[in-house]
Amino acid sequence: MVVFFCAQSGNRTRTILLSQDFESSASTNSAIRAGASLKTDCKFKRKSGNCKNKPLSLHSMLKELSHITDIAAILSQESELYVVYDKNVAWVADQLPAGWPRLELETSEEAKTLETVARIERWLMACGATRGSLVLAVGGGITTDMVGFAAGIYKRGVRYANFPTTLLAQVDAALGGKTGVNLDGYKNMLGAFRMPEYTFLSADVLRTLPSRALLSGVAEMLKTFLLSDGEAYEKALRSGPTQEMIRRAAVVKEDIVARDPYERGERAKLNLGHTFGHAIEHEARMRADDITHGEAVAIGIILSAQAGESIGLSEKGLAQRLARDFAQVGLPTQCPYPLQSLQEAMARDKKALAGGLVRFVIPVRPGEVVFHEMNPYDLHFDTK
Ligand SMILES: NC(=O)c1ccc[n+]([C@@H]2O[C@H](COP(=O)([O-])OP(=O)(O)OC[C@H]3O[C@@H](n4cnc5c(N)ncnc54)[C@H](O)[C@@H]3O)[C@@H](O)[C@H]2O)c1
């Protein structure tokens, strides 16, 4: 099956190819990492007794699906399973076994709150969910963040699994165990690290995703390759978010998280483009402009390259090249705000360090980034 998405960028229409061949490949139905020391792999193999002494890794069990209904087979050993899903993907939840109790949520950043989490908890209690339960989140990053958090505190923690239905959640939000909710309008103010038991990947569920939301995920996918793998970056630019590229991006994130689960070092690389990106989102909120997270990250990556070039860390011409690449896939590349307003926002960012320093992730070339701490007011270049 091949699906075309038309992405609007300004007054141009660009086409992203989302190619999926769900019928053909036997390999797409297997765990992503054959032989990986994963918890659930061990559970299955333990019966034949050949896996007892393998170390457990921090990885969640990434599963690539040929069909949505494969989930039922994979989870067939679970005795208690509860599904919490986003109303906008009810069509996905409808394909799961009818016997699994389910709760529908209307999701938005405003509803990503403790009140919604309490609703999930009360529902689990009313269903009589025990500590042996597994809660399956079906939806985008808002759903997986909230459900992961709700599962993490229900009866002091039950297991959960993610079935992300946005590209952004497939390559980012649903991986790595960061869960949480907003508080009084402050994003992700409450939360906990808690690894999902499984993360199910299916490009099939993206077919109803609006093109702008898809593009937002494309920005995060390109970011992941820019910081890890230049060849994959080139390939993703050409192919768009195919099942293969989604899987590769997810594996990159899972690998980084496995080495640095609590963001004490390397994991911060995943913030490439986000320091500028958050400042852009902040400005957009102040001015009631409409910019998605992925769009802000795309522009933020280009600005990081400009910053890197201005201090001699990035390859010459990188910012221009990235702008050309991003424009090709339909992402915006022009920062609508002056550097000065971004500097103020970056200085106030919750991740800012002591002494007015900010830790930037600077792209050196596709596939390589470095950390650089500096005062954002020491940046001098034109954002327009
Ligand atoms: N935990 C993490 O590490 C992490 C990382 C990045 C982002 N996040 C969080 O993720 C959230 C953003 O995630 P998101 O972009 O997936 O947002 P989202 O969950 O709001 O989904 C975007 C929109 O698409 C709809 N939708 C979802 N899947 C769909 C589908 N297949 N077809 C049609 N509509 C669909 C949703 O209902 C929503 O309206 C933010 O709250 C952010 O804080 C978390």
**Nearest atom in ligand 1 to 191's CA:** 1
Instruction: Please tell me the predicted confidence (pLDDT) of residue 54.
Output: 35
3-state secondary structure of 356: helix
**Residue 178, ligand 1, Cβ within 6 A:** yes
Q: What is the signed CA dihedral for 260, 131, 89, 97, rounded to 10 degrees?
A: 130
**Nearest atom in ligand 1 to 145's CA:** 1
Instruction: Please tell me the predicted confidence (pLDDT) of residue 11.
Output: 28
pTM: 0.85
Parts of the chain with a pLDDT under 50: 1-59
Instruction: Please tell me the predicted confidence (pLDDT) of residue 384.
Output: 66
CA of 173 to the centre of ligand 1 (A): 8
Q: What are phi and psi of 332, to 5 degrees?
A: -70, 150
Answer yes or no: 282 catalytic: no
**Residue 71, ligand 1, Cβ within 6 A:** no
CA angle at residue 334 from 240 to 280, to 5 degrees?
Answer: 95
Nearest by Cα to 135 from 154, 109, 108: 154
Cα–Cα distance measured from residue 222 to residue 226, given in angstroms and rounded to the nearest whole number:
6
What does the pLDDT look like over 17-63, one tens digit per residue? Answer: 233 332 223 232 222 332 222 222 222 222 333 333 333 333 456 77
Instruction: Please tell me the predicted confidence (pLDDT) of residue 127.
Output: 98
CA of 317 to the centre of ligand 1 (A): 33
Instruction: Please tell me the predicted confidence (pLDDT) of residue 234.
Output: 97
Which neighbouring-strand residues pair with 34?
Answer: none
Q: Tokens 């918890």 appear where?
A: 39
Q: What are phi and psi of 356, to 5 degrees?
A: 75, 10
**Residue 148, ligand 1, Cβ within 6 A:** no
**What residue segments make up the domains of the chain, in order of their start?**
2-259, 268-378
Catalytic residue among 64, 220, 254, 295: 220
Cα–Cα distance measured from residue 192 to residue 182, given in angstroms and rounded to the nearest whole number:
12
Determine the residue type at 312: G
CA of 35 to the centre of ligand 1 (A): 31
Which neighbouring-strand residues pair with 14?
Answer: 7
Catalytic residue among 274, 281, 282, 283: 274
Same fold yes or no, 2-259 and 268-378: no
Answer yes or no: 283 catalytic: no
Is 268-378 a CATH 3.40.50.2300 domain?
A: no
Instruction: Please tell me the predicted confidence (pLDDT) of residue 61.
Output: 64
Question: Ligand 1, residues 108, 143, 166, 171: which to mutate, most atoms within 8 A of Cβ?
Answer: 166
Instruction: Please tell me the predicted confidence (pLDDT) of residue 343.
Output: 93
Which residue has a Cα nearest atom 10 of ligand 1?
A: 141
Q: Tokens 């402009």 appear where?
A: 289
Instruction: Please tell me the predicted confidence (pLDDT) of residue 350.
Output: 75
Cα–Cα distance measured from residue 181 to residue 117, given in angstroms and rounded to the nearest whole number:
8
Q: Token pair of 296, please? A: 């802000």
Instruction: Please tell me the predicted confidence (pLDDT) of residue 115.
Output: 98
Cα–Cα distance measured from residue 178 to residue 165, given in angstroms and rounded to the nearest whole number:
17
Question: Ligand 1, residues 87, 145, 223, 291: which to mutate, most atoms within 8 A of Cβ?
Answer: 145
- CATH code of the domain occupying 2-259: 3.40.50.1970
